[in-house]
Structure 1
Amino acid sequence: MLRSGLSLRLLVVTPAVAIFLSSMLVNVGNLGFNMIFSRLMGPELFGQLAFLLTLKLSVLSLFGAAQMAVSHLVSDCEPRGRGALLAGLSVLTRQVFVLLSLVFLFAAIALWLWLGTTALPPVLLFAALPFGAAFSVLRGVSFGAMHTGAIILSANLEMGVRLIGALLAWQLGLGLSGVAGAIALSIIAGWAVVRRELPAPAQPVELSGLIRSLGLGGAAFALLQLAQVLALDGDIFLARSLLSAEDGGLIAALSLSQRIQFFACFSLATVLLPDLTRARRTGQPVIVALRPVGILFGAVSIAVLCATTMVPEWLTDLLVGPQYRAAAPLLRLAALSAIAFTLSYLIATALMAFGDRRGIWICLTVAVVQLAAMALIPEPHLSGFVMIKVSCQLAACGISLLLFAVRLKCSLLTTR
């Protein structure tokens, strides 16, 4: 009993749990942002805001692949070589910042000349994207070195500035431009917290090897991000041409619930990668890095399955409104497919810590097969789409689990 109590206390204070709880708070803030402004703005204006947010998330997802690649490099680097790695990342980050600033400056000028003052919201967003690129690299360093305080503070400050700043801008009558400005400021605020993670280089740095390593790692994680978009959101695009408008709306509602489930656990992947990489490099038991992630993922998955089984109508009303209640009977299957994909995603990330990209190819291949099956179904319908998704993702999860079990067994035998 004493040992189990001590293990529980140790679990509570691990970086994985602290970052997970922080991520949950950020997700609640983001959900609150959408719920508040969908009511304040009305459908037409909120649609414009949703487009801006989609644009922002699309660009930041590419930066997120770079973040994971940087995290992997930093955690895999021996202490004696870390200074040179950080110096190289510092130089590269500055160069990318300048390059993106020029690109987005020309894009902003072109938009302004084309659209006039209506281009102000995307122009404000473009102004922050170079900071977003630097922010992703700096967060990758923070995760690789597991600087928990900086990780938590930057994420929550970004969310707080976005939510409070947008509300203030709206109350001041600044409209969509004010909200876009608050979103831009939130990115800069997050960057400001971690800007000292990279020191100024004291001497010239060779970048060719670093660029090659980041390119290979970033490409792998970009493919994993692509798999996530195809697996969770690809059916939305197919539904526009294959299903009725009503069923297309229900597919979008189910997809939203799946994204909430996935992003509730996404922070676990950002912790799992550097922890496993570090354990492999130092010869430590990998089970220590796996345990908190497995427990937290299991807790979230059980809670989601219980909620979607017992109160699907209430959840549907809360997330998207009573007009989408026809999707409630399928909510549990949608949650199950999201849980299966999330586990496949975590396994693919864990395998990357061992230099194994097969988990990524499993996720991507099954996502493509899933969409092909939906497109070729003789009589497309809502329940058919949902059944295809859950079947494909459960199959991918089973294959990924088998692959990871073999890899884990080999790792355990090696460390003995």
Structure 2
Amino acid sequence: MTVFSVVKKRVSPQQLFMLSALLVNGGNYIYNLLLGRILGPEAFADAALLVTLLLVLSFLGMTFQLVTAKFVAALPQEQWESFRNRIGVLALVIGCVLGAAVFFAAPFLQNILQTENPLMFQIFGIGVPLYFVMSVNRGQYQGEESFAKLSISYQSEMWGRLLITLLAFLIVRDHFGVLVSFGILGSLALGLFPFKKLRFNVARTTSPDLEWGKVRTFMLITACYELTQIIINNSDIILVKHFFQAQEAGLYASLALIGRVVYFVAWMFVMLLLPTVVRLKKEGKPTGHILFKYVGYIGLLSSVIVVVCATFPELIITLLFGDAYLSMASLLWQYALATSLFAVANIFTYYFLSLDQYRPIWFSAILGVSQIVLIVFFHSSLALVVQLQILVMLVLLAVQILYFLSHRR
């Protein structure tokens, strides 16, 4: 009891959430590595496809979470329940529509994506509404800065997906794509806890003081930005798979999985940044020091990761994937650098989103499309693909910094 009281006094909720987020990201990373090692290339293709579908859907799920977090942080406490009920019902309706579309399109998806059977998509479709409601639930805890409850939700989802999937592999040992989708469904159900019940009679819970036009505008803008992140984070893998041989594409995918650890680390700071900036803005206090603090944190962590990748590339690749992937060693630090630049630029964008400044989103969208165009026309080697991304992310970060300086003036 004494240990817990000491920890509670000396460690802030924000610090506990950061430690929890590191554990969650580490667990999700291990989950992907275990899938690759246990299943082998052919079966792993189906598993990776489901994880990619979840990432694609995340741009909408994260939109609901950020919208909820922003307006919960900005609204008076007596309006929280009213707002959450309405946004929660909207998320549930959209989740049911998209989930039904995936469920009934399962035979088509199986045919076009050449998977083992359609059941994996049907199970995945059932989980889509849960994912959207879970995002609203997390958004309220994020906006309230209830980081202990937010941590429990992320921990439940991560451990549920890891343990359910591994247990299913031990028991069944077949139809691995279906088992992975079952693990995802179970983890989404666990991620709902701790859960606040939705009231479906929206008319009685609508607050007359809340301007829903602002909510819709912020939701649309945020969805567009989350979509640009999906493009920047995944277009290179898809294009490499199109332009290069299967072996080279597989090597590049392993490189991307290792290099993106920087982006996973940066994600936890975004969770802390948005509600803090919104609260300070509401109180009429300056917010620039919050941006500097988190840019400093991410810059320091990113630098450490890039240096480690440059110093021990062979060791890292051998430990995570094996000797067959060692030809990517020279590119590891370069890919980590490209991801680091994007992670720092991302903090600037979320900062301005918190202040209702939407122009930086267009910077990301334009440079995300530029990245695609450059890779399409210049892809003579994997090294060139990585170096083009470094160039694009350098330009993006420079533009964000210049916009910040002009905005302060």
Q: Aligned partners of 1:102 and 1:400: how far apart in 2? A: 36
Q: Could you say which residue in structure 2 is the equivalent of 1:84?
A: 79
Q: Is 1:390 aligned with 2:390?
A: yes
CA contact (8 A) 2:37 2:321 kept: no
User: How do 1:276-355 residues align onto structure 2 when only pairs under 5 Å count?
Assistant: 276-287=277-288, 289-290=290-291, 292-355=293-356
Q: Find the aligned partners of 2:250 and 2:110 in 1 and give their Cα distance.
A: 30
| Cα distance in structure 2, aligned partners of 1:367 and 1:105 | 30
1:363 counterpart letter in structure 2: S
Name 2:271's counterpart in structure 1.
270
Alignment of 1:16-415 (within 5 A): 16-77=14-75, 79=76, 82-98=77-93, 100-101=95-96, 104-105=99-100, 107-109=102-104, 111=106, 118-173=117-172, 175=174, 176=176, 177-196=178-197, 203-205=204-206, 212-287=213-288, 289-290=290-291, 292-377=293-378, 380-407=380-407, 409-410=408-409
Counterpart position of 1:413: none
The whole-number CA distance in structure 2 between the counterparts of 1:310 and 1:18 is 30
Structure 1 residues 94-103 or 16-25, which shifts more?
A: 94-103
Superposed CA offset, 1:289-337 (max 9, x none) = 3355234313321220221121011122233332222221122221111
For residues 95 and 367 of structure 1, what CA distance do their matches in structure 2 show? 29
- Taking a change above 3 Å as real, the CA distance of residues 102 and 371 of structure 1, as seen in their structure-2 partners, is closer
CA contact (8 A) 1:138 1:197 kept: no
- For 1:53 and 1:20, the matched residues in 2 are separated by 24
Deviation readout 1:180-230 (Å, 9 max, x if unpaired): 222211111111313359898793526997654333222222222232233
Work out the CA distance in 2 between the residues paired with 1:369 and 1:112: 35
Contact 2:16 2:148 survives alignment (8 Å): no
Alignment CA distance shift 1:207-1:164 (3 Å) = farther
Between the aligned partners of 2:386 and 2:135, the Cα distance in structure 1 is 34
Cα offset, 1:142, TM superposition: 1.0
Quote the Cα distance in structure 2 between the aligned partners of 1:106 and 1:333. Answer: 39
AA partner of residue 150 (structure 1) = K
SS in 2 for 1:141: helix
Q: CA RMSD in A?
A: 3.1
Distance 1:29 1:217, change over 3 A: same
Task: Output the TM-score relative to the length of structure 1.
Answer: 0.85
Pairwise CA distance, 1:339? 0.7
SS at match of 2:370: helix
CA shift at 1:102, angstroms? Answer: 5.7
Indicate the SS of the match to 2:301.
Answer: helix
How far residue 345 of structure 1 moved from its aligned partner, in angstroms, is 0.7
* Distance of aligned partners of 1:19 and 1:296 in 2 relative to their CA distance in 1, 3 Å threshold: farther
Structure 1 residue 149: deviation in Å? Answer: 0.9
Give the distance between the partners of 1:374 and 1:207, measured in 2 at CA.
50
Q: 1:354 to 1:208 in 2, by over 3 A?
A: closer
Distance 1:361 1:16, change over 3 A: farther
Per-residue CA shift, 1:91-125, capped at 9, x if unaligned? Answer: 34235425633653465355379979933322222
Question: Displacement, 1:62?
Answer: 1.5
Contact persistence 1:243–1:380 (CA under 8 A): no
What is the rounded CA distance, in whole Å, between the counterparts of 2:303 and 2:264 in structure 1? 16
Equivalent residues of 1:154, 1:190 under 8 A apart:
yes
One-letter code of the match for 2:48?
A
The aligned counterpart of 2:4 is none
Alignment size in residue pairs: 397
1:205/1:45 CA distance change after superposition, 3 Å: same
Return the alpha-carbon distance in structure 2 between the equivalents of residues 380 and 122 of structure 1.
36
Letter in 2 for 1:257: I
TM-score normalised over the length of structure 2? 0.86
Q: Give the counterpart letter for 2:18 in structure 1.
A: F
Deviation at 1:61, TM superposition (A): 2.6
- Provide runs of 4+ in structure 1 moved above 4 Å: 112-117, 196-202, 206-211
Q: Specify the SS of the correspondent of 1:195.
A: coil
- Superposed CA deviations along residues 11-54 of structure 1, whole A, max 9, x for unmatched, are x8344433222111011111221222323323222221111121
Offset of residue 365 of structure 1: 1.3
| Secondary structure of the corresponding residue to residue 256 of structure 1 | helix
**Secondary structure of the equivalent of 2:117?**
helix
The unaligned stretches of length 5 or more in structure 2 are: 1-6
Secondary structure at the aligned position of 1:191 is classed as coil
In percent, how many aligned pairs have the same letter? 23
Deviations 1:359-387 (A, max 9, x none): 2211221222222222233x722222222
User: C-alpha separation between the residues in 1 aligned to 2:288 and 2:141?
Assistant: 22
